[in-house]
Amino acid sequence: MIAYAWLVPAIPLVAYLLLLALGRRVHEGVAAAIGVLATLISLVLSLMIFVDVAQGGGQLPYLWTWLTFGPGPGHTWQAGFEVNSLNALMLVVVSFVSTLVLLFSRGYMHGDPRFGVFYQYLLLFVFSMLGLVISPNFLQLYVFWELVGLCSYLLVGFWYEKPEAAAAAKKSFVVTRLGDVGLLAGIILLYLATGSFDYDDIARAIQTGGLQIHWIGPQGLATLGALLVFLGAAGKSAQFPLHVWLPDAMEGPTPVSALIHAATMVAAGVYLVARSFALFDASPVALDVVAYIGGITAILGAAIGLTQRDIKRVIAYSTISQLGYMMMGLGVAAYSAAVFHLFTHAFFKALLFLAAGSVIHAVDTQDLGRMGGLWRRMPVTASTFLFGALALSGVPPFAGFWSKDEILASTLAAGRPLLFALGMVAAFFTAFYIFRVFFLTFTGRYRGDRVPRESGWVMTLPLVLLALMALGAGWAGAPFTGYALERFLGEPSGASEAGAGPGVMAISTAVSLLGIGLAWLMYGERATSPEAWSRSLWPLYRLSFHKFYFDELYQAVIVRPAFALGKAFDWVDRRIIDGIVRLAAEATLAVASGVRRIQTGQVQTYGLITLLGIVALIAVSWSLLWGVRS
């Protein structure tokens, strides 16, 4: 089956082209059926591949030459695909979540005039994302990396007539592009150093000391290369300080947020660091940067999530925070723990988004202040959301508990108590903010004005399936299954981690329950007023509520100066450069005799003069050369 792995992305691509051919006015049911069927086939194939890999199937990359641009080795680009334990797992996750999201969208997008286009974009995304994970080299990864970015752009801006959506689409593309420029530079550097874009070739070159360019030593190159690659990963995975695009990306339809901005695309950065772990492992500096950026992102995202009033924004900041955990794990060389968390997070975060989508669909608002009391009216949505919230908070035996604890234990084992502390505080925030959302949405009195109804089966079935995963996905890597998932993934050389001992487990469970309890006191029981808390802690509250003023900062420090610079250059262009030119031109024209006639605007006259001018020009240069004849 592994030899046919290319079919996994190819089938959604075919479905995309089919929908493209069917046009914009395709029947909703047809579009959805084609989409779900295609992703379902991809899911089945992915599962078969996964089983093959688990049984030790071949892992050679299948390659062909894409472009030869010079003689000799090092002047070709390869394309192809590869299958290994990491991307076999990714294939399953991506195709599984995709299938459910495409099914869910049948209900959520029902009635949208561009329903068919929505499915086109989603299928293009699924193709690109699956293509990304089976790419055997950095260059091909970059190709799909940009394509998923394109799909994200198109889908965030799907409701383009909303100015916020249009702005958010551009912002998401530009901010991630900033990281991508670094990634591309890093890829090119590694290529120049090794003559190959291939992950394994580069890893081998690192291990055999073959990584060098004339102007930088091997150690410096490893660090520079790793940091540049990480810049790309940080952009895609919304790591501090490039996290600012992800909350805005919530302007896209909610299924998009679930699929692209929670489960799959934003995890691509984590996947990239994991796939090129050998590179990071060669540079302790780069690993530390990854770890601390991850830690900062984890706490920053969680801290902002505490106070947001838009249900999707809270979950978006939660995604940022959880991606931070994964990066932190990779930074302390806890390779399989990070991938494990990527795995569990994909399910429970997609679940939270889709459940939120179900709520938004029912109440037609994203404002937490206008929800409440939905537990009885939307029992399936509410209970599945609860599963997701428990998994996110890290309450045993839900999925997030096992993977998050492994990362936290690894920070401790790696001798990074500061990171451990950051992770624990973030875990407390996490439990608090997600249950704040839960209580505000599902308990108490309903504060909206539209009568909410439970969503239909196309929307609740994906919720139920994801809820089961949010409960059980973590067991694949839990101690009582002998860390099966971690063993399946294997550890690349240099990676090390610790299983979470009972101590860490106990502390983190206590912290989570504490957070949930506080949320219950404030928003469930109303025993203590959240307003009073925000008043007494107002500087912190405002910092969190205003997202630490990152957007304002970037506006002032980057956007406006760049604009001013552009204006200044434009002025130089129009006034100085063109001014000199005009001066010269007028002086030249004044010398010529026919100045007045030119001004008559008669084009023929003008043309004649031109012709004469050219002839004269040739004649002059000619005689200049020939004039020196002896």
Partner 1 sequence: MHVATLWVVLIPFAAGLISWLAPRDSRSLPRAAALLGSLVSAVLVGAMYLGYDRAAGGSQFAFSRPWFTVGDALADMPLTVTFGFGVDGLSLPLLALTAVVGFTAVWASKGIRNRTNEYYGWLMILLAGLYGVFASTDLFLLFFFLELILIPMYFLIGIWGGAERTKAAAKFLIYRGLSSIGIVVAFFGLAYLAGKIGGDMTLDVAALTRQLHGGAAAAQSAPVAGALFLLLLAAILVEEALVPFHTWLPFAHAQAPAPVNMILGGVVVKTGAYLFLRVAAGMMPAMVGRYAVLVAVIGVLNILWAGLIAFVQSDWRRLLAYTTISHMGIFLLAAASMTPAGLQGALFVAVSSGLLTALLFAGVGLIGERAGTVDMAGLGGLSKPMPYVSGLLLAGALGSLGLPGMGQFVGEVLSFSGSFSVFPRLSAFGIAGILLAAVYLLRAMQRTTFGPTPATKEHLRDGTVGEVLPMVLLLIAVIGVGVFPAVIGHTAGAALAALAAGIGG
Where in 201-260 is the site for partner 1 (CB under 8 A)?
Answer: 213, 215
The interface region with partner 1, picked from 63-71, 95-103, 287-295, 314-322 by CB under 8 A, is 63-71
The residue (of 451 and 603) whose beta carbon lies closer to partner 1 is: 603
The two structure tokens encoding residue 560: 């406006």
> Closest distance between partner 1 and the C-beta of residue 253, in Å?
16
Where in 133-172 is the site for partner 1 (CB under 8 A)?
Answer: 139, 142-144, 146-147, 150, 153, 157, 160-163, 165-167, 169-170
The residue (of 265 and 504) whose beta carbon lies closer to partner 1 is: 265
Q: Rule CB under 8 A: is residue 178 a binding residue for partner 1? A: yes
Can you say how many angstroms the Cα of residue 567 is from the centroid of all Cα atoms in its chain?
A: 32
The residue (of 542 and 574) whose beta carbon lies closer to partner 1 is: 574
The residue (of 24 and 546) whose beta carbon lies closer to partner 1 is: 24
SS3 at position 63: strand
- Residues in contact with partner 1, counted by CB under 8 A, come to a total of 75
Quote the CA–CA distance of 565 and 231 in Å, as a whole number.
25
> Closest distance between partner 1 and the C-beta of residue 160, in Å?
4
Q: Rule CB under 8 A: is residue 595 a binding residue for partner 1? A: no
DSSP 262: I
The two structure tokens encoding residue 139: 């260059």
580 class by beta-carbon count within 10 Å (0-12 exposed, 13-18 middle, 19+ buried) = exposed
Estimate the crossing angle of helix 85-108 against helix 115-134, to 10 degrees.
170
With CB under 8 A as the contact rule, the residue among 44, 181, 537, 592 that binds partner 1 is 181
Q: Rule CB under 8 A: is residue 593 a binding residue for partner 1? A: no
Q: Are the CB atoms for 320 and 246 separated by under 8 Å?
A: yes
> Closest distance between partner 1 and the C-beta of residue 608, in Å?
11
> Closest distance between partner 1 and the C-beta of residue 121, in Å?
12
Q: Rule CB under 8 A: is residue 6 a binding residue for partner 1? A: no
Those residues whose C-beta lies under 8 Å from the C-beta of residue 339, and which sit 6 or more positions away, are: 86, 89, 270, 274, 489
Q: Rule CB under 8 A: is residue 618 a binding residue for partner 1? A: yes
Q: Are the CB atoms for 432 and 519 separated by under 8 Å?
A: yes
Phi, psi of 213 (to 5 degrees): -125, 160
Using CB under 8 A as the criterion, what x/- string covers residues 542-581 for binding partner 1? --------------------xx-xxx-xx--xx--xx--x
With CB under 8 A as the contact rule, the residue among 68, 493, 496, 555 that binds partner 1 is 68
With CB under 8 A as the contact rule, the residue among 527, 587, 591, 624 that binds partner 1 is 624
Q: Of 237, 318, 225, 320, whose CA–CA distance to 272 is shortest?
A: 237
Quote the CA–CA distance of 253 and 112 in Å, as a whole number.
11
The residue (of 51 and 617) whose beta carbon lies closer to partner 1 is: 617
> Closest distance between partner 1 and the C-beta of residue 61, in Å?
19
Q: Rule CB under 8 A: is residue 189 a binding residue for partner 1? A: yes
Q: Rule CB under 8 A: is residue 21 a binding residue for partner 1? A: no
Where in 329-348 is the site for partner 1 (CB under 8 A)?
Answer: none
Q: Rg of the Cα trace of the chain?
A: 29
The bridge status of strand 76-81 relative to strand 62-68 is antiparallel
The residue (of 510 and 611) whose beta carbon lies closer to partner 1 is: 611
The residue (of 538 and 571) whose beta carbon lies closer to partner 1 is: 571
Q: Of 101, 144, 96, 97, whose CA–CA distance to 124 is shortest?
A: 144
The interface region with partner 1, picked from 352-360, 383-391, 415-423, 614-622 by CB under 8 A, is 614-622
Give the DSSP H or E segment for 77. strand 76-81
The residue (of 288 and 573) whose beta carbon lies closer to partner 1 is: 573
End-to-end CA distance of the chain: 81
Can you say how many angstroms the Cα of residue 585 is from the centroid of all Cα atoms in its chain?
A: 53
Q: Rule CB under 8 A: is residue 185 a binding residue for partner 1? A: yes
> Closest distance between partner 1 and the C-beta of residue 112, in Å?
14
SS3 at position 310: strand
The residue (of 221 and 413) whose beta carbon lies closer to partner 1 is: 221
**The Cα angle at residue 356 between residues 355 and 360, in degrees rounded to 5:** 120
Phi, psi of 549 (to 5 degrees): 60, 30
Q: Rule CB under 8 A: is residue 118 a binding residue for partner 1? A: no
The interface region with partner 1, picked from 4-12, 281-289, 412-420, 603-611 by CB under 8 A, is 603-611
Q: Are the CB atoms for 18 and 34 separated by under 8 Å?
A: yes
Cα dist from 445 to 160, 450, 532, 615, 626, whole Å: 34, 14, 20, 88, 98
The residue (of 191 and 317) whose beta carbon lies closer to partner 1 is: 191
Looking at 497-577, list the stretches that DSSP marks H as alpha helix, in order from N- to C-terminal side. Answer: 502-519, 530-536, 538-545, 550-554, 560-571
The interface region with partner 1, picked from 453-461, 520-528, 531-539, 615-623 by CB under 8 A, is 615-623
Q: Rule CB under 8 A: is residue 370 a binding residue for partner 1? A: no
Where in 75-94 is the site for partner 1 (CB under 8 A)?
Answer: 75, 77
Q: Rule CB under 8 A: is residue 127 a binding residue for partner 1? A: no
